[in-house]
Structure 1
Amino acid sequence: MTEISVLRSVLYMPGSNARALEKAKTLACDGLILDLEDAVAPDAKEDARAAVCAAAASGEYGRRTVTIRVNGLGTAWHEADLAAAAAAGPDAVVVPKVSSAAEVLALVDALERAGAPERTRLWAMIETPTAVFDVRAIASASPRLSALVLGTNDLVKELYAEHVPGRAPLTTALSLSVLAAREAGVQVLDGVFNDTKDEAGFLAECAQGRQMGFDGKTLIHPSQVAPANETFAPSPEAVEDAEGLIAAFEAGAGSGVVTYRGKMVENLHVESARRTLAVAEAVRLLAE
């Protein structure tokens, strides 16, 4: 099995807030999105760009995946953001409102022309109806693209929908994005939960995302990190069950039908169990 990259909790941090950038070094999140877009006022964009790029290049964030969200295609800041981010060499550059495979290829070309190192990947945000309809092509457009990030607030706005428990208006978009990511072999991150005081609602949405197949969730507040980490990591019970299933399968190899705890075990169950153990081991290593 290929190496597992753990992205249970990916926290947006405003690029114009020096204290937030410093605090991010102490948080237990798996990843950071140092933001130059929505969290930064127009008159603060250039200073934020310099601060975020310096932070990303500093090497002071340990094992966290450090990314930079640039301003979108067509904005006054996009080209300068992309060039500066490429020079800083973060783990990924996050681009909002990517709507086609052609845009992915153009972004990859721009990163390479700006000298982005091979390690710097592209994360595409899926935030519009057009992106949802083209998400399969977007996900597989380039080997440099390594993740899809759902922009659920923008999707709700574009659909004229409402934020409701269970997210019924978004389930089609969420499911299509997971399907596209799995086919392309890239990671996929669920969108943010807006009410930082609604712990029960946040936990329910994390559980829904985990059940749908998301790798993790994007977050807007440090208080959301620990619950996301717990939800998107295999539980001790799941690890124990995976170990037992694999042991039963290996012990019964060649005997025809193998059962574990009353259920038939096939190769597909073993593959899932091995992935569970690989994720658990990756989480353990990240915590060291």
Structure 2
Amino acid sequence: MARHDIEAARTFLFVPATRPDRFDKAVGSGADVVIIDLEDAVAPDQKAGARANVEKWLASGGRAAVRVNGRNTVWFGDDLAVAARATAVVVAKAESAADVAAVGARYGSGLPVVPLVETPRGLYASREICETAGVVRVAFGNVDFAAETGVDPASHTALSAARSHLVYASAAAGCAPPIDGVTTSVKDPEALSADTRHARELGFTAKLLIHPSQVGAVAELLSPSPQEIRWARDLLASSTGGVGTHDGHMIDEPVLRRARQIAARAASGGAVPDQT
């Protein structure tokens, strides 16, 4: 999977490394990126077997990213060893540039890296993490972060500052917008919708998912609407450069830049079909 594919992806679906029977099903879910999880979804006494599952499936032609345990764990080196054929490496508990650079030291900058920022320490290091060679975009580990700070992981208010910090760090480093954390309820579409809309409003353009049933709704919510696409295309078509007006609103370079971003996302496939 090329760097651009990771940058443009909207849906990242986790599947436990202990469930190889679900790997192909996850790929068939329509998720843009499947992440086989060697970290939280795998108990310590199951790590070796889980790595064997991943290695066998990837060797047979399977295509997925792999979440590895953090650099400061005893499993990190062995996890990296089976990630050579992965489409990307998702680094758990990233708290410094060194935590991420270890992937590049082993495989070079050609293997895309997605650090998971899950602690306040990682949040304050997010600018340097984003600037590390190989990093495509960062993801927010809202559940772990909430546990570290003693707040409800479902609270938009409590975690808004942390989310915005990741958006700003990503933009400052020239990374793609970050990936939001999970919605833990798989049977509450209203919560999923509210979480996704909130993340999008803050500047996130992708989300981590824990169940295939979440894929379609999140993909739609994170895609430019037909109205946004028409606005962007009409504005770009009418612009002659410099400052002007369109439908009674001022047009200048920042407005044009937003229109270009929407048009680019629509062109990459992240658009909702116009039903009118």
Tell me the residue number matched to 1:98: 94
- For 2:61 and 2:69, the matched residues in 1 are separated by 23
Q: Residue 100 of structure 1 contacts residue 138 of structure 1 at CA under 8 Å; is this kept in 2?
A: yes
TM-score, normalised on structure 2?
0.90
Tell me the residue number matched to 1:82: 80
Q: CA RMSD in A?
A: 2.1
- For 1:217 and 1:8, the matched residues in 2 are separated by 6
The residue type equivalent to 1:81 in the other structure is: D
- For 1:279 and 1:58, the matched residues in 2 are separated by 32
Q: Residue 191 of structure 1 contacts residue 217 of structure 1 at CA under 8 Å; is this kept in 2?
A: yes
Q: Deviations over 1:122-155 (max 9, x none)?
A: 1111011111111111111x22111211110000
Q: Which runs of 5+ in 2 are unaligned?
A: none
1:274 to 253, 260, 263: 260
1:219 to 204, 209, 218: 209
Q: Residue 12 of structure 1 contacts residue 34 of structure 1 at CA under 8 Å; is this kept in 2?
A: yes
Output aligned runs, 1:249-288, within 5 Å.
Answer: 249-250=239-240, 253=241, 257-283=243-269
1:119 to 105, 110, 120: 110
2:22 to 14, 20, 23: 20
Q: Residue 11 of structure 1 contacts residue 221 of structure 1 at CA under 8 Å; is this kept in 2?
A: yes
The residue type equivalent to 1:92 in the other structure is: A
Q: Residue 91 of structure 2 contacts residue 100 of structure 2 at CA under 8 Å; is this kept in 1?
A: no
- For 2:4 and 2:48, the matched residues in 1 are separated by 37
SS in structure 1 of the partner of residue 14 of structure 2? strand
Identity over aligned pairs, percent:
35
Q: Deviations over 1:70-111 (max 9, x none)?
A: 12223232111112212x2x2211111111123222342134
- For 1:148 and 1:99, the matched residues in 2 are separated by 12
The residue type equivalent to 1:99 in the other structure is: E
- For 2:270 and 2:122, the matched residues in 1 are separated by 35
Tell me the residue number matched to 1:148: 138
- Number of residue pairs matched? 268
Distance 1:257 1:189, change over 3 A: closer
Tell me the residue number matched to 1:115: none
Deviation at 1:264, TM superposition (A): 1.0
Output aligned runs, 1:12-51, within 5 Å.
Answer: 12-51=14-53
Q: Residue 130 of structure 2 contacts residue 169 of structure 2 at CA under 8 Å; is this kept in 1?
A: yes
- For 1:3 and 1:279, the matched residues in 2 are separated by 12
SS in structure 2 of the partner of residue 94 of structure 1? strand
Deviation at 1:284, TM superposition (A): 6.3
Q: Residue 235 of structure 2 contacts residue 259 of structure 2 at CA under 8 Å; is this kept in 1?
A: yes
Tell me the residue number matched to 2:68: 70
TM-score, normalised on structure 1?
0.86
Q: Residue 56 of structure 1 contacts residue 67 of structure 1 at CA under 8 Å; is this kept in 2?
A: no
Distance 1:164 1:24, change over 3 A: closer
Deviation at 1:164, TM superposition (A): 4.2
Q: Residue 101 of structure 2 contacts residue 133 of structure 2 at CA under 8 Å; is this kept in 1?
A: no
Distance 1:246 1:102, change over 3 A: same
The residue type equivalent to 1:46 in the other structure is: A
Q: Residue 152 of structure 2 contacts residue 158 of structure 2 at CA under 8 Å; is this kept in 1?
A: yes
1:129 aligns with 2:120: yes
1:184 aligns with 2:186: no
